[in-house]
């Protein structure tokens, strides 16, 4: 039970931080079913959140099991090692839910010009798409769009904020 | 370059709003330099325009205030405080006592008269004098509906500016820009338009969708801009008088970075597809696209040369974002920026002699200019973030925006600025909310 509590705690962390820790990897998709075996003699909050775990194939489910974003270096659009792992997990997840289609949104930090950053975000989103297709995902299931520097997720003009804003985000359609 | 106002003047011409009252050949002594570093502004006396009735007096005073503001903002002129005037301005219509104006060191004098006509229109006369040469340099009579008094003031300002600098004016113009408000992550953005001095401000879109990078047609009251409507970035065309708008191009992907051709018949823009952004032109009559670039790099922010024969753009094909010039058929691509840093948003001057750009170097952004062959580069403005220059129609002033750092709650400030080619005269264009992406109109028709 101690193990289970930790798993739930980790899931909550994923949700709140919206981070892409891909150590919750490929076989995380059966996490939901094993969680339902939780006993009732633990605290009520644990068992209730176990039952209400995200429905498989939804964005919430993706966030918990894969993460919903990858990050990029300054003026870069190649997937880094961490981003590759996340995208690999995403490919497995998509193959588990063949009805799901995805939009990958590319974003940039504020330290660039508007038009170039739109192009850069589009290139970042396509890095994810290209890798998904290389991993066997049907190209028709993945759309891309870029919002350049116009939709930051972390506020402030700091290196930390910029690093979090140089991202591609997966959105389940 | 020193611009001399030593010109033989003028034939009587029927102006846009009225007619010339006549002028005489003169050899004026007044020289105003526009581009040569810091210049001591020329002291100029702008008398309140006379009027018979109280309403006419009021309008007359407002007109000289607008002219004064326009000339002062150029940094080339220093309007003299009315309280220093010796000659009673009401007596100017019967004769100028040049000695009185020399005593207060006025180099030039503007006088005028405002009269409401029986049909409700407004008639405005003005005269521009060279105080030391003791001659009239320019005199005109303009007639228009009373509501157009600001435009008349801007046109008079243009006549004065042209007479004293030898350059075309730029006061009878408007600026379209993106008005912004709210924190970084919930910023509301609306297209807005105003006179170049910030008056007659009006919103053009409702803020439901983000809008960016509006650009004026050189030939019509149309604006092309980027809209995020439906969460897909697309280039749109907006007819300002009717409010009618349409999406340019019927294709699946993103389009952005639009700009009109000098004849107003085409829009050049970027289309992004499968990680590759290329430059295309769209003929507005046939709606056909032609592709100009073909390279796996990012090619964007295109801008035509004023003769329509070339396009300057930015590309990272050499490893980092730099400026390139190509022929209008896409051939003959040449890199023109070679200094430190990244170069972006090139805009060809309407005069053809310079290209303005945004430069990112170190931890700063700059607005600069260079010649079309890449030589003569110099910076005119700098800051944490400055971006997106646009030219005044006479190619002598740039407008752009400055943005500050944002705090951890996303509070951020952005403002529209102008600077002239000397780089010494940076001014904020005051807007009701924050502002980015200014675009200067041509001189109004």
Predicted confidence at residue B24, as pLDDT, reads 38
pTM of the model: 0.86
Is B376's Cβ below 8 Å from some Cβ in A? Answer: no
Domain boundaries, chain A: 1-173
CATH number for region A1-173: 3.30.1330.60
B275 with A123: Cβ contact below 8 A: yes
Token couple for B11: 């034939």
Smallest Cβ–Cβ distance between A115 and the set B301, B406, B409 belongs to: B301
- Write down the pLDDT at residue B220: 86
Alpha-helix runs per DSSP H in B343-401: none
Query: Is residue B410 included in any domain, yes or no?
Result: yes
In the prediction, which pLDDT does A21 show? 34
Is there a single domain that holds both residue B301 and residue B428? yes
Could you tell me the pLDDT band of residue B33, with boundaries at 50, 70 and 90? low
Q: How far is B279 from chain A (nearest CA, A)?
A: 11
ipTM: 0.90
Q: Are residues B148 and B200 in the same domain?
A: no
Does residue B368 share a domain with residue B228? yes
A47 in contact with B, Cβ within 8 Å: no
Domain enclosing residue B133, as ranges: 18-165
pLDDT attached to residue B11: 23
Among residues B117, B146, B165, which one ends one of the domains?
B165
Provide the 8-state DSSP code for A58: S
Whether B9 is in a domain gets the answer: no
d(CA B51, CA B117): 12
In terms of domains, do B411 and B308 share one?
A: yes
Once rounded to an integer, what is the mean pLDDT over residues B372-392?
97
- The CATH number covering residue B22 comes to 3.40.50.10070
Task: Tell whether the model's pLDDT for residue B368 goes beyond 60.
Answer: yes
Last residue of a domain, one of B117, B137, B165: B165
Residue B7 lies in a domain: no
Query: Does residue B149 sit in helix, strand or coil?
Result: helix
Q: What is the pLDDT of residue B318?
A: 95
Residue-wise pLDDT for A119-162, tens only, equals 999 999 999 999 999 999 999 999 999 999 999 999 999 999 99
Structural domains in chain B (count) = 2
Closest among B328, B376, B382 to B359, alpha carbons compared: B382
Q: Is A160 on the interface with B (CB under 8 A)?
A: no
Instruction: Inspect the interface and report whether the beta carbons of A152 and B257 lie closer than 8 Å.
Output: no
φ, ψ of residue B396 to 5 degrees: the values are -115, -15
Cβ B338 vs Cβ B331: under 8 Å: no
Q: Do residues B159 and B203 share a domain?
A: no
B297 touches chain A (CB under 8 A): no
In a domain, B5, yes or no: no
Whether residues B121 and B236 fall in one domain = no
CA distance B340 to chain A (A): 15
CA–CA separation, B46 and B49 (whole Å): 9
Roughly what angle, to the nearest 10 degrees, separates helices A44-51 and A2-17? 60
Separation of alpha carbons A9 and A12, rounded Å = 5
- Cβ within 8 Å, pair B212-A114: yes
- Same domain for B195 and B126: no
Task: Kindly state whether residue B4 falls inside one of the protein's structural domains.
Answer: no
Q: How many CA atoms lie within 13 A of A31 on its CB side?
A: 29
Residue B100 lies in a domain: yes
Mean pLDDT across the stretch B342-362?
Answer: 97
Among positive and negative, which fits the CA dihedral B272, B275, B279, B282?
negative
Instruction: Say whether residue A147 is in contact with chain B using an 8 A CB cutoff.
Output: yes
Q: Indicate if B212 and B339 belong to the same structural domain.
A: yes
> If you average pLDDT over every residue of chain A, what do you get?
80
**Torsions phi, psi for B290 (to 5 deg):** -125, 140
Separation in Å, CA A141 to CA A95, A133, B76: 11, 9, 61
The set of residues, in sequence order, having a beta carbon less than 8 Å from that of B344 and lying 6+ positions away, is A112, A113, A115, A116, B301, B314, B321, B357, B358, B359, B360, B387
Is B36 in a helix, a strand, or coil?
A: coil
Q: How far apart are CA B201 and CA A31, in angstroms?
A: 57
What is the model's pLDDT at position A36?
35
């Amino acid at each position: 039970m101690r193990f289970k509590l930790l798993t739930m705690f980790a899931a909550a962390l994923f949700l709140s931080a919206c981070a892409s820790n891909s150590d919750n990897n490929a076989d995380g998709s059966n996490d939901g079913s094993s969680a339902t075996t939780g006993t009732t003699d633990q605290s009520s909050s644990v068992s209730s959140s176990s039952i209400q775990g995200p429905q498989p194939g939804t964005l919430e489910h993706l966030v918990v099991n894969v993460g919903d974003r990858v990050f990029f270096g300054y003026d870069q659009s190649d997937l880094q090692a961490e981003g590759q792992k996340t995208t690999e997990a995403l490919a497995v997840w998509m193959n588990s839910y063949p009805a799901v289609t995805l939009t990958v949104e590319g974003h940039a930090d504020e330290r660039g010009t508007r038009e170039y950053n739109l192009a850069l975000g589009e290139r970042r989103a396509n890095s994810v798409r290209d890798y998904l297709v290389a991993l066997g995902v049907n190209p028709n299931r993945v759309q891309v769009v870029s919002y350049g520097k116009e939709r930051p997720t972390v506020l402030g003009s700091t290196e930390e904020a910029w690093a979090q804003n140089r991202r591609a985000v997966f959105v389940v359609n | 370059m020193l611009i001399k106002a030593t010109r033989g003047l003028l034939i009587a011409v029927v102006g846009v709003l009225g007619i010339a009252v006549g002028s005489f050949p003169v050899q004026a002594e007044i020289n105003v330099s526009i581009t040569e570093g810091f210049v001591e502004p020329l002291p100029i006396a702008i008398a309140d325009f006379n009027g018979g009735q109280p309403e006419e007096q009021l309008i007359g005073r407002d007109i000289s205030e607008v002219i004064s503001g326009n000339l002062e903002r150029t940094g080339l002129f220093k309007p003299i405080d009315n309280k220093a005037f010796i000659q009673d301005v009401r007596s100017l219509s019967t004769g100028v006592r040049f000695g009185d104006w020399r005593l207060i060191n006025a180099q030039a004098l503007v006088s005028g008269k405002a009269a409401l006509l029986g049909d409700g229109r407004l008639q405005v006369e003005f005269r521009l004098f060279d105080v030391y040469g003791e001659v009239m340099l320019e005199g005109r009579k303009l007639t228009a509906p009373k509501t157009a008094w600001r435009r008349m003031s801007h046109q008079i300002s243009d006549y004065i500016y042209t007479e004293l600098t030898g350059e075309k004016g730029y006061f009878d113009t408007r600026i379209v820009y993106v008005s912004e408000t709210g924190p970084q992550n919930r910023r509301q953005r609306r297209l807005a338009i105003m006179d170049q001095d910030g008056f007659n401000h009006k919103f053009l879109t409702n803020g439901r969708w983000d809008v960016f990078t509006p650009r004026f047609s050189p030939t019509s009251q149309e604006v092309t801009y980027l809209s995020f409507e439906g969460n897909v970035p697309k280039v749109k065309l907006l007819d300002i008088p009717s409010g009618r708008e349409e999406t340019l191009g019927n294709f699946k992907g993103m389009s952005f970075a639009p700009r009109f051709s000098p004849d107003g018949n085409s829009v050049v823009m970027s289309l992004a597809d499968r990680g590759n952004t290329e430059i295309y032109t769209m003929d507005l009559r046939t709606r056909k696209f032609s592709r100009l670039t073909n390279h796996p790099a990012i090619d964007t922010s295109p801008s035509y040369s004023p003769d329509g024969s070339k396009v300057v753009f930015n590309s990272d094909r050499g490893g980092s974002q730099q400026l390139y010039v190509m022929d209008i058929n896409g051939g003959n691509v040449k890199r023109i920026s070679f200094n430190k840093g990244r170069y972006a948003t090139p805009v060809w001057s309407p005069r053809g002699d310079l290209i303005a750009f945004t430069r990112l170097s170190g931890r700063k952004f700059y607005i600069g200019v260079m010649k079309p062959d890449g030589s003569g580069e110099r910076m005119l403005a700098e800051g944490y973030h400055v971006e997106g220059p646009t030219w005044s129609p006479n190619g002598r002033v740039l407008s752009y925006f400055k943005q500050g750092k944002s705090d951890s709650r996303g509070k951020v400030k952005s403002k529209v600025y102008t600077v002239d080619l000397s780089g010494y005269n940076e001014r904020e264009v005051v807007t009701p909310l924050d502002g980015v992406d200014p675009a200067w109109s041509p001189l109004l028709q």
